[in-house]
């Protein structure tokens, strides 16, 4: 075991962890909501296409849409009941997108397709991959890239290392932490399935050392598989970013503009591994996930939530607001999305819901850039955020591109550290958008 | 659905990150003020309350000038960010103890009005305002600025046992100059031989010079605090001081190459103050990491050229001002390569 080694990456920041509020809260299953809203797009890629109609009766786990292409995944009913409508509905990204709205019949009938196959490890890689595809799994760390696509590297890319991402470097979030503690066996089995699909003999699980109990448990359970090692990482944000995690664990540098497979690595999140296990061993689609609810609610919790559950339901279950939130964030405070509607549904990539008060989010006054170089020093991609944002300010998109704007991973470290409180990452994201638009 | 739609007034949907670090412009500037306090105490100890008085005048003028100009420009008044206080202190620190009281007043006014506000305020000034103010004073009142030296209360002006009437760098410069002049040759040789004995005085600050630059120890205490806080980094001071040490060692001696006294050159004059508190000025030094190294080396080279070849005994201020002008270019052309390339 490599836990004795202290590892990390270059750059990064140390925001207050604030995990203490929920890290000891065991996962609770939240009662079923009256309705779920299942957006047809919860993943990166093409939207899925509805295959049910208004009025259809569905059980939890029944498919309600089919993938819209290779880089796409199907969606499933997460509760049993009636399809009330298929209509544009508010999505965490802030826009309305076509969604299937299902009204619960209160019975929680489970799809007949879900059956246990004790011999799942003898399935072929291809069969496993089909089950994963059919289960609608998209990366559950938040990036929501379709998992079957990630598990299908082109043959010329030799993959030799699979990395399981248990870093959970965002402040407040503890859903992966709890999952690693409470569903350790499933995660390890899911990881073994992923390794089998990719035909890889080396698996590394990276966990930040603020979760010693998870590290211990994962080590204990994986001890009988010599091909799997657990590595403890020094706490630093954004440790869970793919390129940074790969570097911290293997010292391999993914070339700029390239994917991890370039250096023989594939990274999967621990939640995804659990979903993979469910899909392959049970034919169980991705219909629920663990969500940390933290901030100004009466009870901060880790919840097992059906996909499509509206935010309001989570907040009610947690005893309602305590004080008034200034910001409601889906995901972590560094990269999460600010929401404006409590009718927004939990989706496959929702790792947490944070309700932050005025004093917990910093609404701050921006002053002129001091050229202090702090942002430059901590950028994990070794960019010069001040320069790129400066070009963006004057709409010099070509210059922004020459300053490598496209290599930005949007981690937000630069905005976090900036003493002048400049909205660097926001400006850089806009520059990226403009550069992409120009190149079309 | 409608009733759950929260209105924009109550919640904010501004984009990530939703939390920010604790450092602010104000916090940094006041930390610099705190870091300058040991050196200020040192200057009062060595040059008496006059040092405090000159510093006070410079600070008050700097703050008042900034306030008035921002009022006149009808822009937000930002004197509370502390940057004018820093400029005032540094300007005073760069004056000889014997200057008349109105000199820091004029210097500070120039530093803030022309050096900073004329360009648009903090963040837009191309050169260090305090050094620009000092350069202005040197050009306008050269006699005050070059002969206003006072001896420290507990020592001699030069700190070198054989000389009493010049600051350390000037004493050395003269000694080297007159080494081959008949009637002064002997005394010059003695001076050069004696400079090793002055290290202690230089380190402690028992020598003549600008009021805030003489005490290496006190300046370093403040510098260490800023390094610890992460408000300055080691690159510029290290490359600057290292370059000065290297080149004065190679070229600074009278017995051919590698006969110079790098320790003396590092400790004497304004190098330590300049390297830690002025070359590191965020606004006017590069943010590119490579740029910071080049900047420090550039400051070092120019300082050495002025000290060894130029007409002035000291070149710290001018070297930093000149390198300030290269900052935008260094940031632009010493680009960073993204991780993985
Ligand atoms: S520039 Fe991009 S990668 Fe660098 S710190 Fe900012 S958000 Fe992160
Ligand atoms: S951290 Fe902010 S103030 Fe400092 S260089 Fe970057 S953008 Fe400018």
Q: Is A414 in the pocket of ligand 1 (CB under 6 A)?
A: yes
C-alpha of A286 from chain center: 14
Q: Angle, nearest 10°, between helix axes A270-282 and A175-182?
A: 50
* DSSP structure string for A143-202: T--BHHHHT---TTS---EEEEEE---SSS--HHHHHHHHSHHHHHHHHHHHHHHHT-S-
Question: Does residue A88 form part of some domain?
Answer: no
Residue A216 has pLDDT above 60, yes or no: yes
Distance A407 CA to ligand 1 centre (A): 8
Minimal Cβ distance to A371: which of B17, B27, B283: B283
Is the model's pLDDT at A3 over the cut of 70? no
pLDDT at A363: 64
Please count the structural domains in chain A.
2
How many Cβ pairs within 8 Å bridge chains A and B? 190
Tokens encoding A257: 């503009």
Look at residue B13 and tell me whether its pLDDT is greater than 80.
Answer: no
The domain boundary, picked from A282, A303, A335, lies at A282
- What is d(CA A315, CA A221) in angstroms, rounded to the nearest whole number? 34
Phi, psi of A337 (to 5 degrees): -100, 135
**Structure tokens that stand for A37 in this block:** 């809203």
pLDDT for B340 equals 86
Distance CA A247, CA A334 (A): 21
Considering CB atoms only, which of A338, A370, A421 is closest to B12? A338
Whether the CB-CB separation of A9 and A236 falls below 8 Å is answered with yes
Asked whether residue B217 carries a pLDDT value surpassing 80, the answer given is yes
Length of chain B: 341
B276's tokens: 């830690």
The β-bridge relationship of strands A265-269 and A161-166 is parallel
Closest ligand relative to A406 C-alpha: 1
Percent of chain A whose predicted confidence (pLDDT) is above 70: 98
- The mean per-residue pLDDT over the stretch A370-399 comes to 95
Of the candidates B334, B282, B231, the one whose C-alpha atom is nearest the C-alpha of residue A371 is B282
Mean pLDDT of B250-278: 94
Q: Do B282 and A361 touch (CB under 8 A)?
A: no
Let me know whether A171 and A271 are in one domain.
yes
The ligand whose atoms approach the alpha carbon of A366 most closely is 2
Residue of B nearest to A92 (CA): B13
d(CA A433, CA A412): 16
Which atom belonging to ligand 1 lies closest to the Cα atom of A382? 4
Distance CA A82, CA A54 (A): 8
Looking at residue B10, its pLDDT comes to 58
Pairwise pLDDT comparison (A337 vs A7), residue with the higher score? A337
Long-range residue pairs from A69-72, CB within 8 A, at least 24 positions apart, any chain: A69/A45, A70/A149, A71/A44, A71/A45, A71/A46, A71/A146, A71/A149, A72/A43, A72/A45, A72/A46, A72/A47, A72/A48, A72/A146
Strands A301-306 and A288-295: antiparallel
Give the number of whichever ligand sits closest to the CA of residue A373: 2
The answer to whether residue B76 scores a pLDDT higher than 90 is yes
User: If residue A292 lies in a helix (H) or strand (E), which one and from where to where?
Assistant: strand A288-295
Rounded to an integer, what distance in angstroms lies between the CA atom of residue B151 and that of residue B167? 9
Tokens coding B74: 């009808």
Q: What does pTM read for this prediction?
A: 0.92
pLDDT above 60 for A383 = yes
| CA-based nearest distance A5→chain B, Å | 23
Residue A323, domain member (yes or no): no
| Pair A173, A276 in one domain | yes
Q: Would you say residue B79 has pLDDT above 80?
A: yes
Q: For residues B120 and B283, give the distance between their C-alpha atoms in angstroms, rounded to a whole number.
A: 13
Given a cut of 60, whether residue A2 has pLDDT beyond it is: no
Would you say the CB of residue A373 lies under 6 angstroms from ligand 2? yes
**Partner-chain contact B123 A412, CB within 8 Å:** no
Alpha-carbon gap: B75 to the closest alpha carbon of chain A (Å) = 13
Last residue of a domain, one of A255, A282, A309: A282
**Mean predicted confidence (pLDDT) in B197-223:** 92
Contacts of B27 in chain A (CB under 8 A): 419
The contacts found for A27-30 with CB under 8 angstroms, 24 or more apart, are A27/A178, A27/A179, A27/A182, A27/A290, A27/A302, A27/A303, A27/A304, A28/A301, A28/A302, A28/A303, A28/A304, A29/A303, A29/A304, A30/A303, A30/A304, A30/A305, A30/A306, A30/A309, A30/A313, A30/A314, A30/A317
Q: Do residues A267 and A154 share a domain?
A: yes
**For ligand 1, is residue A408 a contact (CB within 6 Å)?**
yes
Q: How far is B245 from chain A (nearest CA, A)?
A: 26
Q: In this structure, is residue A229 part of a structural domain?
A: yes
- In a mutational test of the pocket of ligand 1, which residue from A254, A332, A374, A385 has the highest number of ligand atoms less than 8 Å from its CB? A385
C-beta atoms of A375 and B20 within 8 A? no
HSE (side-chain half, CA atoms, 13 Å) at B73: 16
Residue A212 lies in a domain: yes
d(CA B104, CA A142) in angstroms, rounded, equals: 58
Least confident range from A37-41, A346-350, A362-366, B115-119: namely A362-366
Residues, chain A: 440
- DSSP bridge partners of B133: none
CA atoms within a 13 Å half-sphere pointing along the CA-CB vector of B188: 17
Determine the atom of ligand 1 nearest the C-alpha atom of A410. 7
pLDDT of residue A6: 56
> Residue range A180-187: average pLDDT?
97
pLDDT, average across residues A195-217 = 96
> Does position B12 have pLDDT exceeding 90, yes or no?
no
Is residue A269 a part of any domain in this protein? yes
Q: Is the peptide bond before B17 cis (omega within 30 degrees of 0)?
A: yes
Interface test with B, best of A89, A330, A360, A370 (most B CBs within 10 A): A370
What is the pLDDT of chain A when averaged over all its residues?
A: 94
Collapsing DSSP states into helix, strand and coil, what is residue A354?
Answer: strand
Residues of B in contact with A11 (CB under 8 A): 339
Quick one: pLDDT at residue B275?
98
In chain A, what residues touch B339 (CB-CB under 8 Å)? 10-11, 243, 247, 253, 256, 380-382, 407
Q: If you average pLDDT over every residue of chain B, what do you get?
A: 92
Q: Of the candidates A340, A367, A387, which has its C-beta nearest B6's C-beta?
A: A340
- ipTM of the predicted assembly exceeds 0.85: yes
Residue A424 lies in a domain: yes
Among residues A51, A88, A12, the alpha carbon closest in space to that of A409 is found at A12
Residue A11 is predicted with a pLDDT of 94
Helix or strand (DSSP H, E) at A438: helix A424-439
Q: Which residue of A has its CA nearest to B11?
A: A326
- pLDDT at site B1: 38
Return the axis-axis angle of helices A184-198 and A175-182, rounded to nearest 10°.
90
**pLDDT at residue B7 in the model:** 45
pLDDT > 70? residue A59: yes
A149-153 LR contacts (CB < 8 Å, sep 24+)? A149/A45, A149/A70, A149/A71, A150/A266, A150/A268, A151/A194, A151/A197, A151/A198, A151/A266, A153/A198, A153/A261, A153/A266
pLDDT above 80 (res A173): yes
pLDDT tens digits, one per residue of B161-186: 777 778 889 988 888 888 888 888 88
* Confidence (pLDDT) at B335: 86
Report the pLDDT value the prediction gives residue B147, as an integer from 0 to 100. Answer: 86
DSSP state letter for B275: I
Which of residues B267 and B147 earns the better pLDDT score? Answer: B267
Q: How confident is the model at residue B11 (pLDDT cuts 50, 70, 90)?
A: low
Residue A361: the pLDDT is 79
Residue A10 sits in a domain of what CATH number? 3.40.50.11540
Does the structure show a pLDDT above 80 at B9?
no
Residues A372/B233, Cβ–Cβ less than 8 Å? no
User: What is the rounded CA–CA span in Å between residue A331 and residue A325?
Assistant: 16
> Which residues of chain A are within 8 Å of residue B126 when distances are taken between CB atoms?
none
* pLDDT score for A5: 47
Q: Is A378 in the pocket of ligand 2 (CB under 6 A)?
A: no
Name the domain boundary from A282, A312, A342.
A282
What residue spans of chain B are helical by DSSP H? Answer: 25-47, 49-73, 83-93, 102-113, 129-140, 142-147, 168-177, 182-194, 199-204, 216-229, 235-251, 262-267, 271-273, 289-308, 316-333
Q: Is the CB of A248 under 6 A from ligand 1?
A: no
- Label the pairing between strands A352-356 and A288-295: parallel
Q: For residue B87, give how far its alpha carbon lies from the nearest alpha carbon of chain A (Å).
A: 15
Q: Tell me what percent of the residues of chain B surpass a pLDDT of 90.
A: 73
| 8 A C-beta contact, residue B89 and residue B45 | no
pLDDT category at A357 given cuts 50, 70, 90 is: confident
- Looking at the domain assignment, is residue A336 inside a domain? no
HSE (CB half, 13 Å, CA atoms) of B7?
2
Query: Is B9 strand, coil or helix?
Result: coil
pLDDT of residue A364: 73
- CB-CB: which of A94, A370, A387 is closest to B331? A387
- CA A359 → CA A324, A362, B18, B308, distances in Å? 11, 7, 11, 57
Asked, for residue A266, whether it belongs to a domain, the answer is yes
Confidence of residue B247 (pLDDT cuts 50, 70, 90): very high
Closest residue of B to A94, CA-based?
Answer: B13
User: B289-308 and B235-251 helices cross at what angle (nearest 10)?
Assistant: 30
Residues A379 and A256 in one domain: no
Residue A151's domain spans which residues?
Answer: 2-24+115-282
- Distance, in angstroms, between A79 CA and closest chain B CA? 20
pLDDT digits (tens, 9 = 90+) for A61-110: 999 999 999 999 999 999 999 999 999 999 999 889 999 999 999 999 99
Looking at the fold, whether A384 and A272 belong to one and the same domain comes out as: no
Answer yes or no: are the C-beta atoms of A69 and A356 closer than 8 Å: no
Residue B195: pLDDT band (50, 70, 90) is confident
Q: How many CB atoms lie within 10 A of CB A235?
A: 17
């Amino acid at each position: 075991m490599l836990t004795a080694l202290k590892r990390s990456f270059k750059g990064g920041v140390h925001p207050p962890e604030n995990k203490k509020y929920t890290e000891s809260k065991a996962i609770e299953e939240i009662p079923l909501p009256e309705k779920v809203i299942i957006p047809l797009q919860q993943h990166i890629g093409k939207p899925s296409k509805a295959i049910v109609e208004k009025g259809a009766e569905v059980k939890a786990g029944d498919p309600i849409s089919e993938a819209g292409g290779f880089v796409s995944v199907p969606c499933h009913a997460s509760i049993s009941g009636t399809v009330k409508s298929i209509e544009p509905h508010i999505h965490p990204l802030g826009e309305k997108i076509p969604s299937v709205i299902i009204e619960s019949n209160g019975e929680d009938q489970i799809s007949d397709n879900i059956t246990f196959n004790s011999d799942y490890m003898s399935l072929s890689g291809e069969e496993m991959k089909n089950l994963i595809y059919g289960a609608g799994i998209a990366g559950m760390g938040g990036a929501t890239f379709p998992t079957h696509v990630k598990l299908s590297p082109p043959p010329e890319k030799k993959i030799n290392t699979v990395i399981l991402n248990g870093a959970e470097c965002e402040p407040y979030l503890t859903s992966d932490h709890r999952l690693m503690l409470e569903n350790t066996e499933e995660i390890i089995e899911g990881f073994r399935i992923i390794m089998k699909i990719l035909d890889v003999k080396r698996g590394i699980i990276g966990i930040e050392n603020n979760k010693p109990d998870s590290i211990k448990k994962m080590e204990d359970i994986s001890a009988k598989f010599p091909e799997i090692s657990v590595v403890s990482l020094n706490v630093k944000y954004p440790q869970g970013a793919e390129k940074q995690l790969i570097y911290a664990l293997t010292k391999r540098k993914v070339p700029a503009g390239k994917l991890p497979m370039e250096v023989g690595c594939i990274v999967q999140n621990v939640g995804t591994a659990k979903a993979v296990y469910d899909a392959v061993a049970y034919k169980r689609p991705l219909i629920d996930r663990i969500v940390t609810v933290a901030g100004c609610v009466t009870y901060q919790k880790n919840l097992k939530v059906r996909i499509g559950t509206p935010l309001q339901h989570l907040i009610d279950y947690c005893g309602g607001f305590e004080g008034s939130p200034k910001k409601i964030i889906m995901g972590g405070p560094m990269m999460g999305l600010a929401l404006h509607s409590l009718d927004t549904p939990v989706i496959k990539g929702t790792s947490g819901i944070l309700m932050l008060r005025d004093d917990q989010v910093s609404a701050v006054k921006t002053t002129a850039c001091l050229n202090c170089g702090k942002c430059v020093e901590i950028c994990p991609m070794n960019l010069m955020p001040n320069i790129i944002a400066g070009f963006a300010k004057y709409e010099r998109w070509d210059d922004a591109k020459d300053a490598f704007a496209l290599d930005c991973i949007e981690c937000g470290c630069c905005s976090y550290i900036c003493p002048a409180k400049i909205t660097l990452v926001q400006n850089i994201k806009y520059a990226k958008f403009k550069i992409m638009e120009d190149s079309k | 659905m409608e009733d759950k739609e929260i209105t924009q007034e109550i919640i904010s949907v501004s984009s990530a990150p939703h939390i920010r670090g604790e450092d602010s412009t104000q916090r940094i500037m006041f930390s610099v003020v705190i870091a300058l306090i040991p050196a200020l105490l040192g200057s009062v100890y060595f040059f008496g309350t006059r040092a405090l008085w000159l510093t006070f005048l410079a600070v008050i003028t700097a703050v008042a000038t900034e306030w008035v100009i921002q009022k006149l420009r009808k822009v937000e008044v930002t004197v509370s960010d502390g940057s004018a206080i820093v400029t005032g202190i540094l300007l005073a620190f760069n004056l000889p103890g014997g200057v008349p009281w109105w000199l820091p007043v004029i210097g500070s006014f120039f530093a803030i009005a022309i050096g900073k506000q004329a360009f648009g305020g903090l963040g837009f000034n191309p050169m260090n305002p305090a050094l620009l103010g000092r350069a202005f004073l040197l050009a306008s009142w050269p006699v005050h600025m070059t002969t206003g030296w006072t001896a420290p209360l507990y020592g001699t002006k030069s700190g070198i046992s054989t000389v009493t009437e010049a600051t350390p760098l000037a004493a050395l410069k003269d000694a080297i100059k007159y080494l081959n002049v008949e009637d002064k040759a002997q005394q010059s040789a003695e001076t050069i031989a004696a400079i090793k004995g002055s290290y202690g005085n230089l380190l402690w600050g028992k020598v003549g010079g600008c009021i805030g630059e003489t005490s290496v120890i006190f300046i370093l205490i403040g510098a260490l605090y800023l390094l610890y806080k992460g408000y300055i980094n080691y690159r510029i001071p290290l490359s600057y001081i290292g370059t000065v040490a290297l080149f004065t060692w190679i070229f600074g001696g009278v017995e051919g190459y590698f006969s110079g006294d790098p320790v003396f050159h590092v400790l004497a004059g304004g190098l330590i103050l300049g390297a830690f508190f002025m070359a590191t000025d965020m606004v006017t030094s590069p943010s590119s990491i490579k740029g910071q190294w080049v900047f420090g080396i550039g400051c070092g080279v120019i300082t050495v050229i002025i000290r060894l070849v130029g007409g002035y005994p000291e070149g710290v201020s001018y070297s930093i001002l000149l390198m300030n002008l290269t900052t935008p270019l260094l940031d632009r052309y010493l680009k960073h390569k993204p991780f993985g390339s």
